[in-house]
Each structure stands twice: as C-alpha cells, then as structure tokens.
C-alpha cells in the first residue's frame, strides 16, 4: 500500500501553488530488453533487420517481424544518414507493447514530409506512423533517441 506524505507549504497565492509527483519505477527483466550498437554504415541496416528478426523469434513475436523490419529500416537509415557516430538500438517487450528505439549522435529530430508521386524517398516516417501506435523523440546530451511503440494486442 503506497504511503502519502503531505507537508503544509503555507498559504500560497493561486499562481504560486506547487505540486509534487512521486512515482515508483519497476525494473524490467533482462530478457525483455535487447540492445545492439551499429556502425554508421549503410550495410548496417540489413544487420539491424536480421538482429531484430532473431530477437522477435526469441520472444515468440514473429507476427511482428515484417512491420518491425520496416520500422527498424527507416529509423536506422535515418540515423546513419543524418548523424556521424554509432547507432544504438534497443527493443523492449513489455506486457502490452513492443518498443523499438534507435539512438544517434545528431540533435536534429526526424521530420515527416509530403512526397510527390515521382519522389524516390520521403515516405519512410509516414510508413512508420502507419505501422505503430505511438512514436516520439527523446533528446539527450549526446544526441537523440527516436522510439516507436507497436501494440501487442494483449
């Protein structure tokens, strides 16, 4: 049972009120998290897809192999194209979702764009949006992490 601790802060005017939020984070079992570091080379994209496929098979999530391969391909390709350093990957399997994270050394975030029918590129992030339920970017001191979440439907 959680304990609530309250302390009177005195009579504060409405525009100076404070709120304190406490949360407890639970540890994730090691077998639910997989990580990989890739060199910033185009050939690493196929290595990333193969690694993700093997990890999904180990987690018995083969039904997500095709969609995850497309997501991984786009995120890793963008990381290699727009940053100069190594690319980190992490996949997390929790009870309800598969989370894919790709980290790189660039502080520039991904931008969806509208592509003309004759354009050869520019559709990748739109595809990622269609294949995932949520996505976002965390900025860090050393770059950024782009993440996606696919519902496991459980």
CATH topology of domain 37-151: Heat Shock Protein 90 (3.30.565)
CA–CA distance, 152 with 138 (Å, rounded to integer): 23
CA–CA distance, 123 with 74 (Å, rounded to integer): 9
CA–CA distances in Å: residue 97 to residues 85, 91, 100, 123: 29, 10, 10, 24
| Helix or strand (DSSP H, E) at 92 | strand 87-93
What is the per-residue pLDDT across 94-135, written as a single tens digit (0 to 9) for each?
Answer: 989 999 999 999 877 665 555 555 545 555 677 888 888 899
Q: So where are the chain's domains?
A: 37-151
CA–CA distance, 106 with 21 (Å, rounded to integer): 32
Query: Which residues on neighbouring strands pair with residue 90, listed in sequence order?
Result: 35, 101
Stated pTM of the model: 0.75
Residue 72 pLDDT class (50, 70, 90 cuts): very high
Residue 1 pLDDT class (50, 70, 90 cuts): very low
113 CB neighbour count, 10 Å cutoff: 12
């Amino acid at each position: 049972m959680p304990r609530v601790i309250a302390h009177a802060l005195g009579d504060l005017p409405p525009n100076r009120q404070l709120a304190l939020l406490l949360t407890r984070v639970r540890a994730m079992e090691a077998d639910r998290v997989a990580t990989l570091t890739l060199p910033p080379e185009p050939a690493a994209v196929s290595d990333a897809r193969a690694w993700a496929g093997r990890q999904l098979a180990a987690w018995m999530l083969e039904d997500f192999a095709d969609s995850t391969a497309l997501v991984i391909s786009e995120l890793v390709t963008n990381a290699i194209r727009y940053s100069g350093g190594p690319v980190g990957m992490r996949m997390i399997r929790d009870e309800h979702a598969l989370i894919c994270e790709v980290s790189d050394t660039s502080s520039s975030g991904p931008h969806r764009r509208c592509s003309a029918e004759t354009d050869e590129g520019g559709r990748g992030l739109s595809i990622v949006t269609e294949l995932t339920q949520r996505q976002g970017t965390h900025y860090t001191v050393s770059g950024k992490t782009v993440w996606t979440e696919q519902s496991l439907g459980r």
